[in-house]
Structure formats: structure tokens, C-alpha cells
Amino acid sequence: MADWKRGLRRVLYPAYEARMLRRMPSENLPKHIGVMLDGNRRWARAVGRDTAHGHQAGAANIEPLLGWCDEVGTEVVTLWLLSTDNLNRPERELGPLLDIIVDAVDSLAVQRRWRLHPVGALDLLPATVAQRLKAAEEATRDVDGMLVNIAVGYGGRREIADAVRSMLLEAAERGTSVEELAAMIDVESIAQHLYTRGQPDPDLVIRTSGEQRLGGFLLWQSAKSEFYFCEAYWPDFRRVDFLRAVRAYSQRERRFGS
């Protein structure tokens, strides 16, 4: 892009964003936003850098996103940083990526602006990574701020399987028979064993990079979510992109089958 175009955008976009924020309705805004931070590797290839640089650039965009969420009154944000499938990547990529993720989470915890909650199969992660994620949660437990779910080693199918496994183990401890357990199982009982138990389901799910699929993100919780797919790779996702997603959500009529 020509330098004059970049300069023009730097001048015009802040005013455009401010106008969008002023005109944003005070009602019908998403209280829980899920974000699939996709496209770091493709962004790195596009700018001629290595994969680690792309992940680092993506990590640097997390804090601004959380600030934008605060601006519109979001109460819960779920960030998908690493899937269970990603754990199969070569160690030469996975190791640095995990380091970048936990460094970013540590940085958020130190600020104590948001309450952090790791979600995912932490038992699949290296012990040191799981310990740092849990430490970040403990360090922000008493923070009176937006709840931020950090989805690392997360997969929607794995989450549902873990929820069912948890129910079975609890039933076994109580001596519940199979017949009694079958009679007890319903939507609410499964929801109470998910990683996000006690939280509202996401109203809006945003995916960057142009991909238009869930890929296993919040499979159970997103049954009634609105979706917004953005062409920008995650490191290039801007405040104006976020505000457009929220505006699109606010303009939708949500009928839920009625």
C-alpha cells in the first residue's frame, strides 16, 4: 500500500472509529464475545517473516482487543489461542508458540485489569505451561474486571467429552446407578460441567483470516451465537474491524426460532 494511503488512514480512521462508537446503541450489545485469533502464520508469510514473528504480532494485538471490549461494555471474552489440533504441530514451532502465549498471559495478569480463566485440556500441555496459566488465574481471581477465558489446548469436542467424563466420575463417587444417571442427564447438567460453567453463552463469535467455519470453537455454547467473519489476518485486526463486528451484531434481529 502506498505511504500516502497509510497516512490518510491514520488520520481518518480514528475519527471514523470515534463516530462509530458514539453511534453504537446502548442496548443489544454482546455481553460475551468469543474470538478466534486466526491467521498469524499466513500474516507472517505475507510480510516475509518467520512463523514465530507472526505469533508474536498476534499476541501483541490481544491487549488492544480487550480494551476495545471494555469500551462497549463486554462482560466476558473468550480468546482461542491454541487448539488441541495445534498441539500436533512440530516441536520447533509449538515450543516457541507456547512460550509466546504464556508470556502474553503473564503480561495481562500483571496489569490486573481483567480476570483471567484458562479453559482447555490443560493436562495435554507441558506442566510448566499449565502451571503458569493457573498462576495467572490465581493472580487475577479478585480483580473486578471483565472475565477473559484463555482457551489453550482447547477443542470443542474434547470439552464435551470432558464434561461427560466429569459427570460419570461424580456419579460413580455417589454410587449412582447407570439407570439413575441416564434419567438425570439433560442439557443443563452437561452445561454445568463445561469449562465455561456458570458463564453466559457467547452472543457474538468473531473469526479473523477469512475462514468461515467454527473449527471446534465453543461447539456447545455457540448454538445461538451470531457469527462475524473478518478477512483480516489476526495481527491486522483493528479497532474499526471490531466495532464493525459489534455494530453488525447490534443490527441483527435475534428470534431464536420464534
74 pLDDT above the threshold of 70: yes
For residue 112, pLDDT over 70 is answered with yes
* β partners of residue 152: 82
| Per-residue model confidence (pLDDT) at position 3 | 57
Q: What are the tens digits of pLDDT across the range 29-66? A: 999 999 999 999 999 999 999 999 999 999 999 999 99
Q: Is 88 a catalytic residue?
A: no
Task: Yes or no: say if 137 and 116 are a contact pair by the CB < 8 Å rule.
Answer: yes
24: which strand partners?
none
Q: Pick from 121, 199, 118, 124: which is nearest to 162 by CA?
A: 121
Please give the model's pTM, rounded to 2 decimal places.
0.91
Interatomic CA distance for residues 22 and 87, integer angstroms: 42
Q: Burial of 35 by CB count in 10 Å (0-12 exposed, 13-18 middle, 19+ buried)?
A: buried
From the list 61, 86, 106, 162, the catalytic residue is 86
pLDDT for 10 equals 63
Q: Look up 61 and say whether it is catalytic.
A: no
> What 8-state DSSP symbol labels residue 222?
G
For residues 67 and 3, which has the higher predicted lDDT (pLDDT)? 67
Closest CA to 181 of 165, 193, 168, 190: 168
- Quote the Cα angle for 99-101-103, to 5°: 65
pLDDT range class, residue 22, cuts 50, 70, 90: confident
**In this predicted structure, what is the pLDDT of residue 25?**
76
The three cell numbers of residue 147 are 472475565
Residue partners of 164: CB distance under 8 A and separation at least 6: 190, 193
Banded model confidence at residue 6, pLDDT cuts 50, 70, 90:
low
In tens, the pLDDT along 199-214 reads: 999 999 999 999 999 9
Q: Give how far Cα 250 sits from Cα of 81, 161, 186, 242, 246, Å.
A: 26, 33, 31, 12, 6
Percent of the chain exceeding pLDDT 70 equals 93
pLDDT of 136 > 80? The answer is yes
